[in-house]
Amino acid sequence: MSETQMILESATDAMTASHVLTPMVLGLQALAVNGKQAHWNVRGENFVAIHELLDTIVGNAQTSADQAAERIVALGLPVDARVCTVAAGTSTRVAAGFSQWDDSVRDLVADIDVVISATRVAIEALDGVDLPSQDVAIAVMQTLEKDRWFLSAHVAD
């Protein structure tokens, strides 16, 4: 078995980065799965717009999860984002069956808010510890906030 070399000077810094990036990875993986669930089951007058937007959000969540997970692995640590781990570490408001478009939007916005919260924690915790990892978290935050904006605009007054 080959050994991975840590790229940070301190193993503690690598562990800190992994510790704060992992909830992001799990949340983003859950967001991708639950976003696809909403995509398949959304109903109502805004069907096409929401259906297509959800595919974009799912793709963004998958890409962001991959970026954060690859950063953890680049630091020399493993990632556990198996389905059972994601399910045990996350929750969702997305319905199991058909849902009206406005309910689907509100539910997915709530799920995005959970990942935004974990990402905000990561950004703060990584300041001065591992700036490249913080950059990954900041990029994820930018994508999450944009996706949240696009979704929530559908239900704004």
Q: Does residue 2 sit within a domain? A: no
Q: Which two tokens stand for residue 124?
A: 């703060």
Q: Does residue 128 sit within a domain? A: yes
Q: Does residue 23 sit within a domain? A: yes
Q: Write the pLDDT tens digit of every residue in 107-151.
A: 999 999 999 999 999 999 999 999 999 999 999 999 999 999 999
Q: Write the pLDDT tens digit of every residue in 49-95.
A: 999 999 999 999 999 999 999 999 999 999 999 999 999 999 999 99
Q: Does residue 32 sit within a domain? A: yes
Give the least confident one: 11-20, 78-87, 100-109. Answer: 11-20
Give, for 99, the enclosing helix (H) or strand (E): strand 99-100
The 3-state DSSP class for residue 103 equals helix
For the cut 60, the answer to whether the pLDDT of residue 6 exceeds it is no
How many of the other CB atoms lie within 10 Å of CB of 81?
18
CA angle 103, 25, 19 (to 5 degrees): 130
Q: Does residue 82 sit within a domain? A: yes
Q: Does residue 92 sit within a domain? A: no
User: Can you give the pLDDT at residue 5?
Assistant: 52
Q: Which two tokens stand for residue 87?
A: 């399910």
Q: Does residue 121 sit within a domain? A: yes
Band of the pLDDT at 12, cuts 50, 70, 90?
Answer: confident
User: What's the CATH number where 33 sits?
Assistant: 1.20.1260.10
Q: Does residue 123 sit within a domain? A: yes
Band of the pLDDT at 11, cuts 50, 70, 90?
Answer: confident
pTM over 0.95: no
User: Can you give the pLDDT at residue 118?
Assistant: 97
User: Can you give the pLDDT at residue 13?
Assistant: 87
Band of the pLDDT at 157, cuts 50, 70, 90?
Answer: confident
Q: Looking at the 3D structure of the chain, how many domains does it have? A: 1
Question: CA 124 from chain center: how many Å?
Answer: 17
* Residue range of the domain that includes 43: 11-87+97-152
Answer for the pair 31, 61: CB distance below 8 angstroms, yes or no: yes
